[in-house]
Amino acid sequence: QVKLLQSGAALVKPGASVKMSCKASGYTFTDYWVSWVKQSHGKSLEWIGEIYPNSGATNFNEKFKGKATLTVDKSTSTAYMELSRLTSEDSAIYYCTRWSYWGQGTLVTVSS
């Protein structure tokens, strides 16, 4: 069955970067776009962007351009998202998703 397994919670300092992972299984990784979604505490869902593993093509929400970098490792069927220049506004749960399937989320806390 399709699974998206995300990396664990991260506590990072303001101004730093964080890189999280999303390991896919149960399907052909290169055939489907993978999206990343942000959910701040008590808030709705916010689409960050998407990547097509076969080609590495990406699309971004304008709001997250310069903030998020999306990459993949086809050899391990893993998608990555790196967030840079972190502030308290970046504290949230981040999900990877294929829209029908979602990872369990990665909690990022930005604090000194």
Partner 1 sequence: DIVMTQAPLSVSVTPGESASISCRSSKSLLHSNGITYVYWYLQKPGKSPQLLIYRMSNLASGVPDRFSGSGSETDFTLKISRVEAEDVGIYYCGQLLENPRTFGGGTKLELK
- In the list 61, 84, 91, 109, the residue contacting partner 1 (rule: CB under 8 A) is 61
E strand map for the chain: 3-6, 10-12, 18-25, 34-39, 46-52, 57-60, 68-73, 78-83, 92-97, 106-110
What are the structure tokens assigned to 69, written together?
């970098």
Q: Should residue 55 be labelled a site residue for partner 1 when binding is judged by CB under 8 A? A: no
Beta bridge partners of 94: 38, 106
Pick the stretch among 10-18, 20-28, 43-51, 68-76 that binds partner 1 (CB under 8 A). Answer: 43-51
Q: Should residue 87 be labelled a site residue for partner 1 when binding is judged by CB under 8 A? A: no
What are the structure tokens assigned to 75, written together?
């050899």
Site size for partner 1, by CB under 8 A? 19
Residues at the contact surface with partner 1, assessed by CB under 8 A: 35, 44-47, 50, 59, 61-63, 95, 97, 99-105
